[in-house]
Structure 1
C-alpha cells in the first residue's frame, strides 16, 4: 500500500507543468532557487512552493550551501512511477511481437 501512496503523490506532483519544467532544469545538476525561478519564469515564492511539493513527493532533495538553498533531482522518488509503468511493457511487447509475426505469415 505504501508504494501506491508514493505513486499517487509522485503522479500528482508530476501533473503540474511547472513542476515538470523545474525537474527539467534540475536534470543536469543542482540549482539555487533563484536560478530555477528565473529559468522557469516563476517568482521565487512560486518556485519555492513547487519545490516543496516536489520534495514532499520525494522527487527532489534540497541542501544548504551557505545562504543558498540548492535543489537536485532525487531519481529514487521516481521508482514508484517507473515500477507502475514497467508493468505495462511485457504485455505490450508481446502484442507487438504477435502483430509483427502475424504480418510475416
Structure 2
C-alpha cells in the first residue's frame, strides 16, 4: 500500500486525535453521507459536524462531493494509507524487540 505524498502527516495525526473525528470516519467509511445524517447519527450539531469534516478534509482523511444540493462526505482511503504507512514502519522494530524478549526469557529458563 503506497502512501499519498501530499498528505500532511502531522495534520492527519492531529485530526485522528479527536474522538468525534474518528467517529465521523466510522460513519463515512463505507459510503458517502450528508452532513445532516452524520450529525444525527452521532448526536452532534450540523455546525460541529461540518467543522470536524473540514478538519478531516484538510488532513486528507475525508473527501466531499456534490449530489444536487447535498454535500456528501466519504473516507479518503489514500489519506488513511499515508497514516498507516507511517505506523507500519514501527512494527518490524517492535516485533524484533518482542522476539528478543521472548527468546531471552526462554534462554533464562533453560539456563
Q: Which runs of 5+ in 1 are unaligned?
A: none
The 10-residue stretch of structure 1 (81-90 or 14-23) with the greater mean CA deviation from structure 2: 81-90
2:70 alignment counterpart: 68
**CA distances 1:63-83 after superposition (whole Å, capped 9, x unpaired):** 111111110000111233222
Question: Match of 1:99, SS?
Answer: helix
1:10 aligns with 2:12: yes
Greater length-normalized contact order (CA 8 Å, ≥ 6 residues apart)? 2
SS in structure 1 of the partner of residue 72 of structure 2: strand
Q: TM-score, normalised by structure 2?
A: 0.83
Cα displacement (A) at 1:16: 1.3
Q: 81, 92, 99: which is aligned to 2:94?
A: 92
Which of the residues 40, 46, 58 maps onto 1:38?
40
Provide the residue aligned with 1:56 in structure 2: 58
Any unmatched runs of 5+ in structure 2?
Answer: none
Determine the structure 2 residue equivalent to 1:21: 23
Q: Which has the larger share of helix? A: 1
Flag the structure with larger Rg.
2
Deviation (angstroms), 1:99? 2.3
Q: TM-score, normalised by structure 1?
A: 0.87
> Runs in 1 of length 4+ with deviation above 4 angstroms?
none
* 1:104 CA displacement: 3.3
